[in-house]
Amino acid sequence: MKVSRLKHRFVEAFPEKMEEGMLYVALEYDTMSHMCACGCGNEVVTPLSPKDWKFSYDGKTVSVDPSVGSWSLACQSHYVIRNGNILWADKWDEKRIKAGRERDLAVKRGSAVPPTSAVPADTKPVTQRTEPPAVKRVDAKSAKPTSSFWSAVLAFFMGRK
Ligand SMILES: [Zn+2]
């Protein structure tokens, strides 16, 4: 059953059988887990880390950032969890999924990535420019290694050595 709201439960370990519409938060393992909100019956595990997901708790409801995109599931569900509400986002095509994965990799490599916007409508992947800044190549010929050789020879004949 497709759910529109997610309750939350702080747990020490995930139960064998998770309830639909329930976000389990296991702080002990820095991981959250829930049944896919589309009702497909798959578990969606969202690790908590500065490079994965984070959640905020206002004492009543939980919000999760960034959006949850289950590209590996058949349903390809994509939604934002905001104050316990499931806000459905558009499905991504292959190109966007790839861009999103590349962005994730960039984050894991520690490249600077603009923070994900908190506005649910703006779940577009941020295309990360990974090219290094233009480096001026030094032409080997222009390095003139002979000059120091000749100045050494000159110094030799000048009797300064
Ligand atoms: Zn699903």
Question: Is residue 64, in this structure, part of any structural domain at all?
Answer: yes
Please tell me the predicted confidence (pLDDT) of residue 88: 94
Q: Is 16 helix (H, G, I), strand (E, B) or coil?
A: coil
Give pLDDT, residue 114.
52
Determine, yes or no, domain membership for 11.
yes
Amino acid at 128: Q
Structural domain includes residue 114:
no
Tell me how far apart the alpha carbons of residues 122 and 75 are, in angstroms, rounded to a whole number.
21
Distance 150 CA to ligand 1 centre (A): 75
28-67 pLDDT tens trace: 999 999 999 999 999 999 999 999 999 999 999 999 999 9
- Residue 128 Cα, ligand 1 centroid: separation in angstroms? 28
Share of the chain above pLDDT 70, in %: 75
Ligand 1 centre to CA of 77 (Å) is 5
Centre of ligand 1 from the C-alpha of residue 76, in Å:
7
Domain interval for residue 62: 7-93
Q: Is residue 58 assigned to a domain?
A: yes
Write the DSSP symbol of residue 5: B
N- to C-terminal Cα distance for the chain? Answer: 90
- Whether residue 141 contacts residue 108, with contact meaning beta carbons closer than 8 Å, is answered with no
The answer to whether residue 82 is domain-embedded is yes
The pLDDT of residue 126: 37
132 within some domain: no
Q: How far apart are CA 45 and CA 68, in angstroms?
A: 10
Q: Residue 148 pLDDT > 50, yes or no?
A: yes
117 lies in some domain: no
Q: Is 157 a domain residue?
A: no
Q: How far is the CA of 94 from the centre of ligand 1 (A)?
A: 17
The CA 72 to ligand 1 mean position distance, Å, reads: 10
**Can you say how many angstroms the Cα of residue 119 is from the centroid of all Cα atoms in its chain?**
17
Question: 142 C-alpha to center of ligand 1: Å?
Answer: 61
Sheet holding 54-57, edge to edge: 54-57, 62-69, 78-82, 85-88
Write b or e for each residue in 6-36: b if 16 or more Cβ atoms lie within 10 A of its Cβ, otherwise e.
bebeebeebeeebeebbbbbbeeeebbbbbb
Number of domains in the chain: 1
161 CA from centroid of ligand 1 (Å)? 81
Angstrom distance (rounded) from CA 81 to CA 58: 13
Q: Which residue has the tokens 């295309």?
A: 127
